[in-house]
Amino acid sequence: MKYVIIGNSAAGIGAVEGIRRIDKSGEILVISDEPYHTYSRPLISYLLLGQVTEETMKYRSNDFYVKNHCTLLYGTVTEVQAKTKQVMLADGREIAFDKLLVATGSSAFVPPFEGLDTVTNKWTFMCLDDARKLGEALNATKRVLIIGAGLIGLKCAEGIRDRVSQITVLDLAPRILSSILDDDGAKQVQNHLESKGIEFRLGYSVKRFEQNTAVLENGETINFDVLVLAVGVRPNTGLLSGAVIIDRGIIVNEKSETTVPDIYAAGDCTQTLDRSSGQNKVMALLPNAYMQGECAGVNMAGGDQRFDKAIPMNAIGFFGLHVITAGNYTGEVYAKRKNGNYKRLFYDNNQLNGCILIGNVEKAGIYTSLIRERTPLDSIDFALVCEKPGLMAFTKEERMEKLGR
């Protein structure tokens, strides 16, 4: 059996480990369009911050490929021929496969701003090369404009804050982290970031660029030396265009199978079921990517595994302030705010739908488990869980199960 995996990040690594759980001898080829050992993409901001090195941000040990008897090939795949079971590389090589996993992730979305081509020193912030190049462009006199107040933009701001003179974050949305926080939670995080010297211009968009000046829709201008484009991401689905069903992402089932036999997909390039809402959506999260890739690997090798409990979830921190969000924000709300800690729980129909925790996130796993498992709230002491999440809110049998006994 010959397995080909396109992608060398979390989903691809999960697939290698999933295959090797079932098939100890089949040939595995991992194709990477980055010339690096697998690394954790969320750590690139910490690389600029100086909290990790390129060695410590590796996602697996240096001997990972050798230990798992797989080959890492650096190259860019330009085409997948589903009918003949071949992938084509930019250098002309053709590689046959028996089972294929597409784990191509996502790419930065760059809006077609007028005059963007006149800007010098502009970068995205998605990969190790981006971090390296951005780091080289920075010094203590630089003014940085970041377009995008989402996770990528704000982690970039944190990573470079002590290396530049000024950071301004611009976003069309009226609040930061608009896809994962409510108004009050967003304001708390924004106040914390502003206390660290980061400036915000929210509710505005760029009309055009005039070299290193951004002209806003209201006529105001922002001068900068370095521009970071962190507007959003788009799933990399092009390799399977016309071969499988694609919506916003590649459509897969709970076994990570596409609509074409022997072709699987996993990670940020896919669209999967959000268990908390019942909707199919793109959930670009590293833990989901790994688990989905592992599921694909097991099934590619003839096993039987399902990835059917995915939920949107983010665990992040900014200058020591911790934030965890999960699920969706529908239903009734339990709210508590005390001593700088912020909690919102969303529930209806006897189930917990989502949560927002800022500050104290110590017992967040209780909430995420309730959301993921769709636990009936009348089977636990939900009032106690709201106030003090812990295993004592569950029955003895449930406590023993969660403790693995």
What would the CATH number be for the domain defined by 116-231?
3.50.50.60
Rounded to the nearest angstrom, the gap between the alpha carbon of residue 285 and the centroid of all alpha carbons in its chain is 3
Predicted pLDDT at 401:
63
CA–CA dist 191, 202 (Å, integer): 13
In this structure, are residues 151 and 126 in contact, taking their beta carbons and an 8 Å threshold? no
In this structure, are residues 50 and 329 in contact, taking their beta carbons and an 8 Å threshold? no
At 102-130, the pLDDT tens digits run 999 999 999 999 999 999 999 999 999 99
pLDDT tier for residue 84 given thresholds of 50, 70 and 90: very high
Strand-pair partners of 272: 281
pTM of the model: 0.92
Please report, for the chain, the start and end positions of each structural domain, with discontinuous segments joined by +: 2-41+59-107+234-300, 116-231, 320-402
Q: What is the mean pLDDT of residues 278-305?
A: 95
Please say whether the dihedral angle defined by the alpha carbons of residues 81, 86, 89 and 92, taken in this order, is positive or negative.
Answer: negative
Cβ neighbours of 391 (radius 10 Å): 13
- CATH topology of 2-41+59-107+234-300 equal to that of 116-231? yes
Q: Provide the 3-class DSSP secondary structure of residue 226.
A: strand
Q: What is the mean pLDDT of residues 265-282?
A: 93
Which residue, among 57, 69, 53, has the nearest Cα to 17 in the 3D structure? 69
Which residue, among 170, 125, 172, has the nearest Cα to 152 in the 3D structure? 125
Superfamily in which the 2-41+59-107+234-300 domain is placed by CATH? FAD/NAD(P)-binding domain (3.50.50.60)
In the structure encoding, which two tokens stand for residue 400, read together?
A: 């023993």
Predicted pLDDT at 132:
95
Domain 320-402 fold is Enolase-like; domain 1 (3.30.390)
Which residue, among 120, 138, 98, 154, has the nearest Cα to 319 in the 3D structure? 154
Which residue, among 295, 319, 317, has the nearest Cα to 307 in the 3D structure? 295
